[in-house]
Amino acid sequence: MSDAERRNGLEGIPGKWVRDLEPEMPAIDAARQVLELRLKSVETLLPLAARHAHEDTEYVHQLRVATRRSGAALRAFRPCLRKKSARGMAKSLRTIRRAAGEARCLDVQIKAVQSLRKQFSGGARVLIEEFTDELGQRRVDANLALEQTLKHFPRKTLKGRRKAVMTSLHEPSPWLRQSCPDVPSGEGPMTLRQLGEVTVPSLVRSLQRAGSADLRLIETLHDLRLHGKRLRYALEIFRCCQGELFKPRYERLESFQEALGDINDAHELLVAMKRFVAGRTNRRREVFGEAVMDDVDARSAAGDVMTMTLRQRRDDGVRVFLDAWRAGAWKDLWTTVPSGGNGRSAGPPSVQSEVVT
């Protein structure tokens, strides 16, 4: 990476929108433009995240987002790609995303714990400081994993895989055109709009199915969040096909993702804190035995206070989300596109209970 690229940092990375896309442009041309931008972003961000995260943690965050957007582009344009090259690139993106995801999770947790420090004193504050130290060490380890990922996927390797993807582009199979009732068979190349009419409704239905599960469960909310991400990143590609209603609906999807993201962050921090408290208590007992039981009990009490605080934060977030869900706060998600060929829109799944588990 050149010094100029490093100085430019995030300024030279394409954002969520891809310019110069038109609804009636050939889908294969749109694929070429979108995939080139998305995959290049990963190539640029991986060295920044692995080598310079200490200067700006946003490098890691943007790398993770770039891998998700690239994956969404591969899925959106799957009909235009040879399976072998698409699968190979998708596998590489998953590996990079997981490495970035661990580092990003720890960055979020460290920031959250540091903000908690001012709210507590005594044993709880000591516990927070020790927990912060442990998270910091884990973050160092996560960065080592990112550096190993960079060694496995140097820019030259990723560039070669990107070129393999680009050379595998082809016109979508004729069978796909049958899913577009307004497109006579064999009449011109498939357009970006027509591909969106096939691709986006399936993502909406997947999100709806995820929302029909038991949303009292954290695991279900996490799954719902992932389906929301896939829809969001796909909509960014087909933005030009959505018309004037795109902006308000996309903003609703952003608020949906933000609410679920806050719940997920709170839950992951709670799990990490509980694991830390349990492990720390057990280690002290093993080393010092019964002679420090009073100290162990005091620190366990401080740990209980912290876990109760974090659990309350998470559960409050879930309750607020479920209330908004039942009230139809995100009903636009189901009307972003028709649910199928009948032109009717899917309705939002219902929530049966407020109980948080």
Max CA separation in the chain (angstroms): 84
What does the pLDDT look like over 281-324, one tens digit per residue? 555 545 444 544 445 455 567 788 888 989 999 999 999 999 99
DSSP-based three-state secondary structure for 26? strand
Q: What is the mean pLDDT of residues 206-235?
A: 94
More confident residue, 18 or 175: 18
* Separation of alpha carbons 296 and 300, rounded Å: 6
Mean pLDDT of 34-61: 96
pLDDT digits (tens, 9 = 90+) for 83-114: 999 999 999 999 999 999 999 999 999 999 99
* Least confident piece of the model among 174-178, 248-252, 325-329: 174-178
The secondary structure of 290-346 as a DSSP string is GGGHHHHHHHHHHHHHHHHHHHHHHHHHHHHHHHHHHTTTTGGGGSSS-SSTT-PPP
Q: Is the pLDDT of residue 332 over 80?
A: no
Q: How confident is the model at residue 155 (pLDDT cuts 50, 70, 90)?
A: very high
Average pLDDT estimate for 20-30: 96
User: Average pLDDT for residues 31-35, to the nearest whole number?
Assistant: 97
Render 230-261 in DSSP notation, one character per residue.
HHHHHHHHTGGGSGGGHHHHHHHHHHHHHHHH
Q: Alpha-carbon distance 154 to 166, whole Å? A: 19
d(CA 313, CA 112): 12
What is the average per-residue pLDDT within 187-192?
86
**Opening angle at CA 282, ends 277 and 287, nearest 5:** 130
Reading the block at residue 233, the tokens are: 């990143």
Q: Report the run of H or E that residue 203 belongs to, with start and end.
A: helix 192-211
CATH hierarchy code of domain 24-172: 1.40.20.10
117 by Cβ neighbours in 10 Å (0-12 / 13-18 / 19+) ranks as middle
Give the model's pLDDT for residue 242. Answer: 86
Q: Which residues contact 180 (CB under 8 A, 6 or more apart)?
A: 190, 194, 197, 198
Q: Does 248 have pLDDT greater than 90?
A: no
Alpha-carbon 86 to chain mean position: 20
Q: In the prediction, which pLDDT does 161 show?
A: 96
Other C-beta atoms lying within 10 Å of the C-beta of residue 259: 21
In this predicted structure, what is the pLDDT of residue 329? 85
Given a cut of 70, is residue 346 above it in pLDDT?
no
pTM of the model: 0.85
Looking at residue 230, its pLDDT comes to: 95
The mean pLDDT of 32-47, rounded to a whole number, is 97
Phi then psi dihedrals of residue 7, to 5 deg: -65, -40
The pLDDT of residue 41: 96
- Residue 56, pLDDT score: 93
pLDDT at 353: 40
User: Any idea where the domains of the chain sit in the sequence?
Assistant: 24-172, 191-332
Q: Mean pLDDT, the chain, as a whole number?
A: 85
User: What span, in angstroms and rounded, lies between the C-alpha atoms of 103 and 137?
Assistant: 11
